[in-house]
Structure 1
Amino acid sequence: MQSYSELFAAGDLIFREGDPPDGAFLIESGRIEISTHQFGEHRVLGELGPGMLLGEMAVIDDSPRTATARALTPCRLTRIDAGQFAERLASADPVVRALLLSQLTRYRSALAKLTGGVERVGDARLEDHRDASAIGKIRLESELRTALDRRELEVRLQPIEEIESGHVAGYEALVRWTHPQRGDVSPAEFIRLAEETSLIVPIGDYMLERVCDVLVELRRRGRKPLPFVALNVSARQLDDPGLIDRIIGHVRARDLPPNRLKIEITESLVLDQERIGSLLARCHAVGMPVALDDFGTGFSNLGPLLTLDFDQIKLDASFVRALDRPRGRSVVGVVVAMTRALDCDLVAEGVETREQREALHRLGCRYAQGWLVGRPQPLEQVLNG
């Protein structure tokens, strides 16, 4: 079975005293000896076991390793990149507590041993539930990085239907992760983690590349008209000044019609009107549409829509669920009229029943997305459907 961990046999050297601090480890199983060479003597400082951190002290202060680590028994370790520590230490994060607790406990244990005490080095097992949660987050982040490097993240395509004709007009691209041990990881869990770190940027680039390849394959298979594919862009991605250039570059490199790639941003980002206005201008200059996602959940006034020229508005599923009430239908009707006045399309999200789709049709909503239309599908299913 594939694993994100590294295996060491008994006697294997993990790192040597004086080595550069290129990362740390989380011990999943096995025992590890920590030793130093002083005054010509091999001196054992202690042992580490499952649930403990190894090698983090040198990473925290960016100093050479002060001890040697060697496997006493067969060991399974999860490598933690040095960059992860740097990011965590620069932020107010629960992980900082776990790292500093481990360092402090080990330091005190070593000091006690050197002064004649009996406390064991590195017995920094993280029993507190908060620290256990932080360690779980470190582990998941490391595994997510590895999955991204191995290109194991999957693209799923959820169909968007034109209600009038019943035809699939396009898809929303969604990222999914199947962990080799845990199975399917909730997108809410790993996407939130990615957004807390810099991981959302390379994941976004990975999705951009994959989505453009999807459009190429749909074109090669003769899909006419070529459906659009919507790609979500997060706030952290928008902080990258080179993002739009990369998007345009991928589209042009594949000779794709720019209007087939649709950029989606969430409503909460619209408050930064200057940044979003610049995004809209650059995308529109090359014919690339931009959609406003989760409409109705973010800003409390409609002022931004007076100046920001979106091509599509996606109505949050909470409004669709309210269609069985007169007041809910009235509100959706107002949104339909507003989008017509703004000359942009409306997509209703979370459509799960025929009654909801029929109500949307009567109100004049153009597109529907949700489990009634189709769940997120693997690429091969879309291509062969």
Structure 2
Amino acid sequence: MRIHLQAGDVIFSEGDAPTTAFLIESGEVEISATQHGQRIVLSHLSPGDLLGEMAVIDDAPRTATAIALGDCMLFPIDRAQITERLSKTDPIIRSLMEGQLKRYRGALAAMQGKRDKLSEISETPSEQLGIGKIRLETHLREALVNDGLDVRYQPLLHVASGRIAGYEALVRWTHPERGAISPMEFVALAEETSLIVPIGEYVFDTACKAVTRFIDSGADPKPFIAVNVSARQLGHPGLIERIVARVDAAGLPRGSLKIEITESQALNYGLVADVIELCHRHGIKVALDDFGTGYSHLSHMHRLAFDTIKVDQAFSRAMVDDPRSLAIVEAIVHMGKALGTEVVVEGIETEEMLAILRRLGCDYAQGYLIGKPQTLDELLGAA
């Protein structure tokens, strides 16, 4: 509902409750505040400007007065509209914004000679969350520079031969204060920033050295190592060329490193198709990870020439007792065979589950029965 005002009409006054913000459609508005008993003009706002939003955002009394300088038309924006949008904003951006508001309020209070100075204004919950993310991101950057990240390797069993064919590289981080940080937390944080690119490069470097050590230790067959790649990494120029350069420099077979792409709603078919084509040109295989969950779509298999499908453990863990889950796993295995695609089933924890995969003719099994993620030294020591 539009609000029409005439010259001199007060929109809100200092000390009023922050119920609404406003967008100026037409006209001009003067913002003023009281300083030592004198009214001072802070700004003049014109069409397209917002007013009153700061008080609504930090839920504090108005710190200024807004008066129409002539005929004006305003669009009110209620608290619910602002709160809904803020709740979907990145916590770091929200924290920066709230910190700016806090400094503004503190400076204005000091100018007006009021008691609630900047130092007396406490952090909001979202500000604490945002600062926490910034701090964690800083620590993650330090860990990357100081070799504070660790790569574990989980084995993949070739079901028909019963031999370990390769490993999946899984990056881990032990924080000096918090201890082990969940990959879901720090990898997600890295994907929000440019950090995921150097972390990915670190994992590829480490995995390439690991393959060399496996081969030098006499591993037979020569294993491959699969590395997860995010959408952000896929879009980074020269990714595949750098992988090939590492493998060639180490004197390893081109198939020593594989990449895994996780299903997502944002899967860019054009980009992924180009990456797969380039990988195949250089002898690198590409897997579709976590198939069957999230934003699973058969178009991924119809339109993209993946070499491997990795079936999510949500199906395998239930397939012994749940005929529907077993039917899904069986259907995916059959689809893989029809498409000439290898199939890996994750989450294999019992001999009974492994026996099902043998019966279905599945290519690879992964899970705690096959082996937990371990450091390279642990794996070579056990070999």
How far is the alpha carbon of 1:122 from its aligned partner?
4.2
How far is the alpha carbon of 1:217 from its aligned partner?
1.5
Question: Could you say which residue in structure 1 is the equivalent of 2:349?
Answer: 352
How far is the alpha carbon of 1:274 from its aligned partner?
1.3
Instruction: Please state whether the residue corresponding to 2:151 is helix, strand or coil.
Output: strand
How far is the alpha carbon of 1:211 from its aligned partner?
0.8
2:218 aligned with 1:222 = yes
Report 1:86-101 matches (<5 A). Answer: 92-101=89-98
Report 1:171-250 matches (<5 A). Answer: 171-250=167-246
Question: Could you say which residue in structure 2 is the equivalent of 1:285?
Answer: 281
**C-alpha separation between the residues in 2 aligned to 1:300 and 1:310?**
14
Instruction: Please state whether the residue corresponding to 1:322 is helix, strand or coil.
Output: coil
Runs of at least 5 residues in structure 2 that lack an aligned partner in the other structure: 1-87
Question: Could you say which residue in structure 2 is the equivalent of 1:343?
Answer: 340
Contact 1:160 1:171 in 2 (8 A): yes
How many residue pairs end up in the alignment?
294
User: Could you tell me which of 105, 109, 114 is aligned with 2:106?
Assistant: 109
Q: Structure 1, residues 236-271: CA drift from partner, whole Å, max 9, x if none?
A: 111112211211121122121111111100122784
**C-alpha separation between the residues in 2 aligned to 1:113 and 1:181?**
38
How far is the alpha carbon of 1:124 from its aligned partner?
4.4
1:358 is aligned with what amino acid?
Answer: A
Q: Structure 1, residues 274-313: CA drift from partner, whole Å, max 9, x if none?
A: 1111111111111111111111124554233234222111
Report 1:315-326 matches (<5 A). Answer: 315-323=311-319, 324-326=321-323
Report 1:146-157 matches (<5 A). Answer: 146-157=142-153
Runs of at least 5 residues in structure 1 that lack an aligned partner in the other structure: 1-90
Question: Could you say which residue in structure 1 is the equivalent of 2:135?
Answer: 139
**C-alpha separation between the residues in 2 aligned to 1:368 and 1:270?**
28
How far is the alpha carbon of 1:115 from its aligned partner?
4.1
**C-alpha separation between the residues in 2 aligned to 1:184 and 1:234?**
22
Question: Could you say which residue in structure 2 is the equivalent of 1:264?
Answer: 260
Instruction: Please state whether the residue corresponding to 1:268 is helix, strand or coil.
Output: coil
1:214 is aligned with what amino acid?
Answer: A
2:342 is aligned with what amino acid?
Answer: D
Question: Could you say which residue in structure 2 is the equivalent of 1:33?
Answer: none
Q: Structure 1 residues 192-201 or 294-303, which shifts more?
A: 294-303
Q: Structure 1, residues 102-152: CA drift from partner, whole Å, max 9, x if none?
A: 2222233234334433333444431x3222222211111111111111111
| Cα RMSD after superposing both structures | 1.9
Instruction: Please state whether the residue corresponding to 1:335 is helix, strand or coil.
Output: helix
Q: Structure 1, residues 33-89: CA drift from partner, whole Å, max 9, x if none?
A: xxxxxxxxxxxxxxxxxxxxxxxxxxxxxxxxxxxxxxxxxxxxxxxxxxxxxxxxx
Q: Structure 1 residues 106-115 or 246-255, which shifts more?
A: 106-115
2:134 is aligned with what amino acid?
Answer: I
Distance change (3 Å), C-alpha of 1:270 and 1:262: farther
**C-alpha separation between the residues in 2 aligned to 1:375 and 1:341?**
31
Question: Could you say which residue in structure 2 is the equivalent of 1:366?
Answer: 363
**C-alpha separation between the residues in 2 aligned to 1:377 and 1:336?**
28
Instruction: Please state whether the residue corresponding to 2:174 is helix, strand or coil.
Output: strand
Larger radius of gyration: 2
**C-alpha separation between the residues in 2 aligned to 1:325 and 1:123?**
59
Instruction: Please state whether the residue corresponding to 1:225 is helix, strand or coil.
Output: coil
How far is the alpha carbon of 1:315 from its aligned partner?
0.6
**C-alpha separation between the residues in 2 aligned to 1:180 and 1:333?**
45
**C-alpha separation between the residues in 2 aligned to 1:227 and 1:270?**
31
Contact 1:98 1:131 in 2 (8 A): yes
Contact 1:232 1:264 in 2 (8 A): yes
Question: Could you say which residue in structure 2 is the equivalent of 1:118?
Answer: 115
Q: Structure 1 residues 141-150 or 115-124, which shifts more?
A: 115-124
**C-alpha separation between the residues in 2 aligned to 1:266 and 1:302?**
14
**C-alpha separation between the residues in 2 aligned to 1:146 and 1:172?**
25
Contact 1:159 1:373 in 2 (8 A): yes
**C-alpha separation between the residues in 2 aligned to 1:253 and 1:319?**
40
Contact 2:175 2:181 in 1 (8 A): yes
2:353 aligned with 1:333 = no
How far is the alpha carbon of 1:327 from its aligned partner?
2.5
